[in-house]
Each structure stands twice: as structure tokens, then as C-alpha cells.
Amino acid sequence: AQSVTQLDSQVPVFEEAPVELRCNYSSSVSVYLFWYVQYPNQGLQLLLKYLSGSTLVKGINGFEAEFNKSQTSFHLRKPSVHISDTAEYFCACSNDYKLSFGAGTTVTVRA
Amino acid sequence: DAGVIQSPRHEVTEMGQEVTLRCKPISGHDYLFWYRQTMMRGLELLIYFNNNVPIDDSGMPEDRFSAKMPNASFSTLKIQPSEPRDSAVYFCASSPRTGVKNTEAFFGQGTRLTVV
């Protein structure tokens, strides 16, 4: 079985500042890793995913994440956030056909 | 493609009533998932189907919950009888992969269920 821990439940950040959302996973086998974003009253949308290959993954809206096998982490970063990045962000992992989600991190971007 | 379509978007019902949530997955997707989202428990996988067959229903909380997928383009999640603690947002998601273990799931907008 695999699981995901998101280390921060809430992250307030000022507009144009960088942000990092932390995610650690636990699995006895190789996993695939994902970051999803949920805007208010919306479904989840895929930001990026790591399947194999390069450990630095670039996604939509200027987000990127780095897979670190030794630290079992998959942290999400954006160098400069916008007000529109205010949302909840979910890290997820999978090694079969179903996703296991973290508890989510709420990002609030202030002007 | 219109994406995963769920209906209704909002449902308010009285305790004890039957509730049916509906989902139309993306055409051609082989996997369909039902998730429940609450503040207390986050996102929980309830059940998933592969080619219309239920594969894992270990997340279904009680016998009051049931799910069906009569064909590749339609699935239902039923709660009978409903209880206030069932209040949550229920998401349907579908995935295009069969035989490849990278499950990028595409989510619907969700159904917000309130049981009073």
C-alpha cells in the first residue's frame, strides 16, 4: 500500500512571491506521483505528474515539482504566484490503478 | 470532449431518503472512480470500475452505499437511506489507461450532497 503526507495544511503567500508545497510519500514499490489543483467549487485538475525519467517535472501554470527518491519527496514549487493560484493543492501517488491523495494544502495568495 | 459530467451539481435531501448521483465518464476511458470529499477525511476512494466491472469497493462505507456501471458511458452512486453524515462532495473521475499503471484521472465537477 502507498500513502501521501502533505506537510502543510495552509500556506499564505504574497503575490509574486515564490511558494513551495511539501509532499512525502510512502511506498514499498515504485510509484507514480501527481499534483492536482482544486479551485473553489470545482473538480480536481492535474497540474503535473512524475512517471519516470527526469526528476524535475514541469506542469501547467508555471508549476514544477522535483522527485527525490532518497527523501521520498515530491515537492511542488512556483517561483512567482498570482492571485489566481489561490486554491487547494493535492499530492497523490499510485502504483496500480487507483490514486491515494494527501490531505491537501490550501494556498491563499494575497496582494 | 466535455469531460466527466456529473449530475446533479447540488442535492439537498432529507434524512432517510434515497439519493442517486450520476456520472458520465469521458468516452473511451476504461476506468471510473467514485470519490468522496469531506473536511474531516479529505478525498476518499469509494469504489472503482474497470470496463464496467467493479474492481475494488473496499472504500464504500456501508451497505447503504451502492454503485453500478451498466455501460461504458454511465455510472450511478446510490445512498439508501441517506444520513446527515453522508453530506459531502462526491466526485466521479475516469482514466484512459488499461494495462499501463499511470492513472491520470480526470475529475468531474462534483455533486455537493447535503442531507438534513
Supply angle C-alpha A57, A4, A71, rounded to 5: 60
pLDDT greater than 60 at residue B33: yes
Candidates B32, B45, B50, B29; CA nearest to B90 is B45
What is chain A's alpha carbon radius of gyration, rounded to the nearest angstrom?
Answer: 13
Chain B 48-87, residues with CB within 8 Å of chain A CB atoms:
48, 50, 55-56
Pairing of strands A10-14, A105-110: parallel
pLDDT digits (tens, 9 = 90+) for A46-82: 999 998 888 999 999 999 999 999 999 999 999 999 9
3-state secondary structure B20-65: EEEEECCCCCCEEEEEEEECCCEEEEEEEEECCEEEECCCCCCCCE
Those residues whose C-beta lies under 8 Å from the C-beta of residue A50, and which sit 6 or more positions away, are A32, A33, A34, A57, A65, A67, A74
- Asked if B42's CB is within 8 angstroms of A102's CB, the reply is yes
Residue A60 phi, psi (nearest 5): -80, 160
Q: Copy the grid coordinates of residue A49.
A: 505528474
**Cell numbers at residue A66, please?**
522535483
Task: Report the candidate in A78, A76, A69 with the shortest Cα–Cα distance to residue A105.
Answer: A76
Which residue is associated with the grid cell 493543492?
A89
Mean pLDDT of A103-109: 96
Interface probe, candidates A37, A42, A44, chain B, greatest B C-beta count within 10 A: A44
In whole angstroms, give the CA distance from residue A86 to residue A35: 15
Q: What pLDDT is recorded for position B113? A: 98
Task: Give the pLDDT of residue B100.
Answer: 57
In this predicted model, what pLDDT tens digit does every residue of B75-95 receive, in sequence order? 999 999 999 999 999 999 998
Closest listed residue to residue A106, CA positions, set A7, A8, A22: A8
Are B108 and A43 a contacting pair at CB < 8 A?
yes
For A30-55, the DSSP string reads --EEEEEEE-TT--EEEEEEE-SS-S
B43 lies within 8 A of chain A by CB: yes
Interface test with A, best of B36, B37, B97 (most A CBs within 10 A): B37
pLDDT digits (tens, 9 = 90+) for B53-63: 999 999 998 89
The model's confidence at residue B1, banded by pLDDT at 50, 70 and 90, is low
Q: How many Å lie between the alpha carbon of A110 and the closest alpha carbon of chain B?
A: 23
- CB spacing of B101 vs A96 below 8 angstroms: yes
Query: How far is Cα B19 from Cα B16, in angstroms, rounded to an integer?
Result: 9
pLDDT of residue A27: 79
For residue B31, the chain A residues in CB contact (below 8 A) are: 97
Chain A CB contacts of B25 below 8 Å = none
